[in-house]
Amino acid sequence: MDARIQQSVLSNLSSRPAPIESGPFVIGFDPSTPNPGINYATPRPGAAISAADVTALVRAVEIANRQPRLEYVTSSAPGLEALLVAAGFTVEARHEYLTCRPDTLAPPPAPAGFALREPADDAERLAMVTAQHEAFGGPAPRDADVERMSRLQSRGGVAVMAVAGDDGTCAGGGQAVPPHDGVSEVAGIAIRPEYRRRGLASAVTATVTTHLFEAGTEIAWLEASGTDSRRIYERIGYRTTGNRLYISHP
Protein backbone atom coordinates (compact mmCIF):
# COMPACT_ATOMS: atom_id res chain seq x y z
CA MET A 1 0.00 0.00 0.00
CA ASP A 2 2.84 2.43 0.84
CA ALA A 3 4.23 2.04 -2.68
CA ARG A 4 0.82 2.73 -4.26
CA ILE A 5 0.29 5.83 -2.17
CA GLN A 6 3.77 7.15 -2.94
CA GLN A 7 3.26 6.49 -6.65
CA SER A 8 0.04 8.50 -6.52
CA VAL A 9 1.96 11.42 -4.99
CA LEU A 10 4.53 11.15 -7.77
CA SER A 11 1.77 11.19 -10.39
CA ASN A 12 0.12 14.22 -8.80
CA LEU A 13 3.36 16.22 -8.78
CA SER A 14 4.09 15.17 -12.36
CA SER A 15 0.81 16.80 -13.40
CA ARG A 16 1.82 20.25 -12.13
CA PRO A 17 2.08 22.90 -14.88
CA ALA A 18 5.89 22.64 -15.12
CA PRO A 19 7.20 19.55 -13.27
CA ILE A 20 10.95 19.11 -12.95
CA GLU A 21 12.78 15.77 -12.87
CA SER A 22 16.01 15.56 -10.88
CA GLY A 23 17.52 12.08 -10.74
CA PRO A 24 15.24 9.92 -8.53
CA PHE A 25 13.06 12.90 -7.63
CA VAL A 26 10.13 14.73 -9.21
CA ILE A 27 9.52 18.36 -8.27
CA GLY A 28 5.94 19.58 -8.62
CA PHE A 29 6.66 23.07 -9.91
CA ASP A 30 3.82 25.56 -10.43
CA PRO A 31 5.09 28.95 -11.71
CA SER A 32 1.85 30.68 -10.66
CA THR A 33 2.43 30.31 -6.91
CA PRO A 34 5.31 30.04 -4.42
CA ASN A 35 3.10 27.98 -2.07
CA PRO A 36 5.35 25.28 -0.54
CA GLY A 37 2.31 23.00 -0.23
CA ILE A 38 2.14 22.93 -4.03
CA ASN A 39 5.82 23.25 -4.98
CA TYR A 40 7.66 20.34 -3.41
CA ALA A 41 9.59 17.22 -4.37
CA THR A 42 9.08 13.53 -3.78
CA PRO A 43 11.20 10.43 -4.52
CA ARG A 44 10.33 7.63 -6.86
CA PRO A 45 9.37 4.68 -4.64
CA GLY A 46 12.20 2.21 -4.22
CA ALA A 47 14.76 4.27 -6.17
CA ALA A 48 18.41 4.25 -5.08
CA ILE A 49 19.29 7.72 -3.77
CA SER A 50 22.72 9.16 -3.02
CA ALA A 51 24.00 12.29 -1.32
CA ALA A 52 24.88 13.61 -4.78
CA ASP A 53 21.23 13.17 -5.81
CA VAL A 54 20.16 15.29 -2.83
CA THR A 55 22.68 18.01 -3.75
CA ALA A 56 21.39 18.03 -7.32
CA LEU A 57 17.80 18.25 -6.07
CA VAL A 58 18.54 21.28 -3.92
CA ARG A 59 20.21 22.99 -6.86
CA ALA A 60 17.30 22.24 -9.21
CA VAL A 61 14.77 23.65 -6.75
CA GLU A 62 16.85 26.77 -6.12
CA ILE A 63 17.13 27.39 -9.87
CA ALA A 64 13.32 27.31 -9.95
CA ASN A 65 13.36 29.92 -7.15
CA ARG A 66 11.54 27.68 -4.68
CA GLN A 67 12.35 26.33 -1.23
CA PRO A 68 13.84 22.81 -1.22
CA ARG A 69 11.11 20.73 0.39
CA LEU A 70 9.87 17.13 0.23
CA GLU A 71 6.78 15.16 1.20
CA TYR A 72 6.85 11.38 0.93
CA VAL A 73 5.79 8.04 2.41
CA THR A 74 8.70 7.18 4.69
CA SER A 75 8.95 3.49 3.79
CA SER A 76 9.28 4.32 0.08
CA ALA A 77 12.77 5.75 0.65
CA PRO A 78 14.08 4.33 3.96
CA GLY A 79 17.51 5.99 3.94
CA LEU A 80 16.47 9.34 2.49
CA GLU A 81 15.75 11.19 5.74
CA ALA A 82 19.32 10.70 6.98
CA LEU A 83 20.73 12.01 3.68
CA LEU A 84 18.45 15.05 3.83
CA VAL A 85 19.31 15.87 7.45
CA ALA A 86 23.01 15.58 6.62
CA ALA A 87 22.42 18.09 3.81
CA GLY A 88 20.86 20.61 6.21
CA PHE A 89 17.18 19.74 5.93
CA THR A 90 14.90 19.99 8.98
CA VAL A 91 11.84 17.84 9.69
CA GLU A 92 8.64 19.89 9.59
CA ALA A 93 6.16 17.20 10.57
CA ARG A 94 5.41 13.49 10.61
CA HIS A 95 1.86 12.64 9.66
CA GLU A 96 -0.11 9.43 9.55
CA TYR A 97 -2.01 8.72 6.38
CA LEU A 98 -5.32 6.89 6.30
CA THR A 99 -6.96 4.91 3.52
CA CYS A 100 -10.55 4.08 2.63
CA ARG A 101 -12.11 1.57 0.25
CA PRO A 102 -15.69 1.38 -1.03
CA ASP A 103 -16.55 -1.39 1.44
CA THR A 104 -15.37 0.58 4.48
CA LEU A 105 -16.91 3.97 3.65
CA ALA A 106 -19.77 4.93 6.00
CA PRO A 107 -21.04 8.32 4.81
CA PRO A 108 -23.10 10.35 7.29
CA PRO A 109 -26.15 12.37 6.21
CA ALA A 110 -25.53 15.99 5.26
CA PRO A 111 -26.09 18.29 8.26
CA ALA A 112 -29.50 19.98 8.21
CA GLY A 113 -29.49 23.36 6.53
CA PHE A 114 -26.55 22.67 4.19
CA ALA A 115 -26.21 21.47 0.61
CA LEU A 116 -23.13 19.62 -0.60
CA ARG A 117 -22.36 20.00 -4.29
CA GLU A 118 -19.56 20.43 -6.79
CA PRO A 119 -18.75 24.03 -7.75
CA ALA A 120 -20.17 24.53 -11.23
CA ASP A 121 -18.46 27.76 -12.34
CA ASP A 122 -15.63 30.10 -11.42
CA ALA A 123 -17.83 32.15 -9.07
CA GLU A 124 -18.58 29.03 -7.03
CA ARG A 125 -14.95 27.91 -7.20
CA LEU A 126 -13.90 31.31 -5.85
CA ALA A 127 -16.42 31.01 -3.01
CA MET A 128 -15.05 27.57 -2.13
CA VAL A 129 -11.35 28.43 -2.21
CA THR A 130 -12.08 31.63 -0.26
CA ALA A 131 -13.71 29.54 2.49
CA GLN A 132 -10.77 27.11 2.47
CA HIS A 133 -8.18 29.89 2.68
CA GLU A 134 -10.09 31.53 5.53
CA ALA A 135 -10.39 28.21 7.39
CA PHE A 136 -6.67 27.52 7.03
CA GLY A 137 -5.71 31.09 7.93
CA GLY A 138 -4.11 31.76 4.58
CA PRO A 139 -4.09 34.83 2.32
CA ALA A 140 -7.03 35.74 0.11
CA PRO A 141 -7.19 33.51 -2.99
CA ARG A 142 -6.03 34.71 -6.39
CA ASP A 143 -7.22 34.00 -9.90
CA ALA A 144 -4.57 31.27 -10.14
CA ASP A 145 -6.19 29.42 -7.22
CA VAL A 146 -9.54 29.40 -9.02
CA GLU A 147 -7.87 28.25 -12.23
CA ARG A 148 -6.11 25.48 -10.32
CA MET A 149 -9.43 24.21 -8.97
CA SER A 150 -11.00 24.35 -12.42
CA ARG A 151 -8.05 22.40 -13.86
CA LEU A 152 -8.39 19.78 -11.12
CA GLN A 153 -12.05 19.22 -11.98
CA SER A 154 -11.44 19.12 -15.72
CA ARG A 155 -8.78 16.40 -15.29
CA GLY A 156 -11.05 14.07 -13.31
CA GLY A 157 -10.51 15.36 -9.80
CA VAL A 158 -13.34 16.07 -7.36
CA ALA A 159 -14.33 19.29 -5.60
CA VAL A 160 -17.19 19.61 -3.11
CA MET A 161 -18.47 22.76 -1.43
CA ALA A 162 -20.79 23.03 1.58
CA VAL A 163 -23.39 25.76 1.08
CA ALA A 164 -25.55 27.19 3.86
CA GLY A 165 -29.22 27.08 2.88
CA ASP A 166 -30.23 30.27 4.67
CA ASP A 167 -28.05 32.71 2.73
CA GLY A 168 -26.02 30.67 0.22
CA THR A 169 -22.69 31.24 1.99
CA CYS A 170 -20.00 28.69 1.26
CA ALA A 171 -19.16 27.21 4.66
CA GLY A 172 -16.19 25.16 3.45
CA GLY A 173 -15.16 22.43 1.07
CA GLY A 174 -12.64 19.82 0.04
CA GLN A 175 -11.22 18.12 -3.02
CA ALA A 176 -9.45 15.06 -4.38
CA VAL A 177 -6.79 14.86 -7.07
CA PRO A 178 -7.35 12.93 -10.30
CA PRO A 179 -6.85 9.22 -9.55
CA HIS A 180 -3.72 7.37 -10.61
CA ASP A 181 -3.92 3.58 -10.93
CA GLY A 182 -7.10 3.59 -8.87
CA VAL A 183 -5.68 5.76 -6.06
CA SER A 184 -6.59 9.37 -5.20
CA GLU A 185 -5.62 11.78 -2.42
CA VAL A 186 -8.38 13.66 -0.60
CA ALA A 187 -7.18 17.05 0.64
CA GLY A 188 -8.11 20.60 1.53
CA ILE A 189 -10.96 19.64 3.89
CA ALA A 190 -11.69 22.99 5.50
CA ILE A 191 -14.68 24.52 7.30
CA ARG A 192 -15.01 28.18 8.28
CA PRO A 193 -14.74 28.62 12.07
CA GLU A 194 -18.35 29.72 12.56
CA TYR A 195 -19.66 26.57 10.86
CA ARG A 196 -17.59 24.00 12.75
CA ARG A 197 -18.87 21.38 15.21
CA ARG A 198 -21.85 20.58 12.99
CA GLY A 199 -20.54 17.51 11.19
CA LEU A 200 -19.63 19.37 8.00
CA ALA A 201 -16.02 18.14 7.83
CA SER A 202 -17.21 14.52 7.99
CA ALA A 203 -19.92 15.16 5.42
CA VAL A 204 -17.61 16.95 2.97
CA THR A 205 -14.92 14.25 3.28
CA ALA A 206 -17.47 11.47 2.79
CA THR A 207 -19.05 13.20 -0.21
CA VAL A 208 -15.69 13.73 -1.92
CA THR A 209 -14.82 10.09 -1.24
CA THR A 210 -18.19 8.88 -2.52
CA HIS A 211 -17.71 10.75 -5.79
CA LEU A 212 -14.30 9.12 -6.20
CA PHE A 213 -15.67 5.62 -5.67
CA GLU A 214 -18.62 6.26 -7.98
CA ALA A 215 -16.09 7.11 -10.70
CA GLY A 216 -14.18 3.86 -10.17
CA THR A 217 -11.43 4.83 -7.72
CA GLU A 218 -10.30 1.87 -5.60
CA ILE A 219 -8.49 3.61 -2.75
CA ALA A 220 -8.91 7.10 -1.31
CA TRP A 221 -6.31 8.42 1.10
CA LEU A 222 -5.73 11.47 3.22
CA GLU A 223 -3.63 12.68 6.11
CA ALA A 224 -4.47 13.30 9.73
CA SER A 225 -2.48 16.11 11.35
CA GLY A 226 -3.90 15.42 14.82
CA THR A 227 -6.21 13.32 16.97
CA ASP A 228 -9.35 15.35 16.22
CA SER A 229 -9.03 15.11 12.46
CA ARG A 230 -8.13 11.42 12.65
CA ARG A 231 -11.32 10.69 14.60
CA ILE A 232 -13.40 12.51 12.00
CA TYR A 233 -11.91 10.40 9.21
CA GLU A 234 -12.13 7.14 11.14
CA ARG A 235 -15.86 7.69 11.77
CA ILE A 236 -16.55 7.61 8.05
CA GLY A 237 -14.41 4.57 7.28
CA TYR A 238 -10.80 5.69 6.92
CA ARG A 239 -8.15 3.55 8.63
CA THR A 240 -4.59 4.46 9.64
CA THR A 241 -2.24 2.80 7.17
CA GLY A 242 1.21 4.40 7.08
CA ASN A 243 3.42 7.41 7.69
CA ARG A 244 4.55 10.41 5.68
CA LEU A 245 7.38 12.87 6.25
CA TYR A 246 7.46 16.63 5.63
CA ILE A 247 11.01 17.99 5.49
CA SER A 248 12.57 21.18 4.12
CA HIS A 249 15.82 23.11 3.74
CA PRO A 250 15.93 26.57 5.38
The pLDDT tens digits for 126-136 are 999 999 999 99
pLDDT at 214: 97
CA angle 221-226-229, nearest 5°? 60
Q: What is the pTM of this model?
A: 0.93
Chain centre distance of CA 246: 13
pLDDT at 224: 84
pLDDT at 228: 84
User: For residues 149 and 179, what is the distance between their CA atoms, to the nearest angstrom?
Assistant: 15
Percent share of the chain, pLDDT over 90: 94
pLDDT at 110: 85
- CB within 8 Å of 193: residues ≥ 6 apart: 135
Q: Which of 195, 28, 211, 196 is nearest to 102 (CA)?
A: 211
pLDDT at 229: 85
Summarised one tens digit per residue, pLDDT across range 193-244 is 999 999 999 999 999 999 999 999 999 999 987 788 889 999 999 999 999 9
Contact 206, 170 (CB under 8 A): no
Q: Which long-range contacts (CB under 8 A, 24 or more apart) does 162-167 make?
A: 162/114, 162/115, 162/116, 162/191, 162/195, 162/200, 162/203, 162/204, 163/114, 163/115, 163/116, 163/117, 164/113, 164/114, 164/195, 165/113, 165/114, 165/115, 166/113
Check residues 247 and 228 and name the one with the higher pLDDT: 247
pLDDT at 153: 97
Chain centre distance of CA 231: 18
Summarised one tens digit per residue, pLDDT across range 85-95 is 999 999 999 99
Mean pLDDT on 103-112: 94
Summarised one tens digit per residue, pLDDT across range 180-195 is 999 999 999 999 999 9
- Per-residue pLDDT band for 40 (boundaries 50, 70, 90) equals very high
pLDDT at 227: 81
pLDDT at 225: 74
Summarised one tens digit per residue, pLDDT across range 110-165 is 899 999 999 999 999 999 999 999 999 988 899 999 999 999 999 999 999 999 98
User: For residues 141 and 122, what is the distance between their CA atoms, to the nearest angstrom?
Assistant: 12
Say if residue 97's pLDDT is above 80: yes
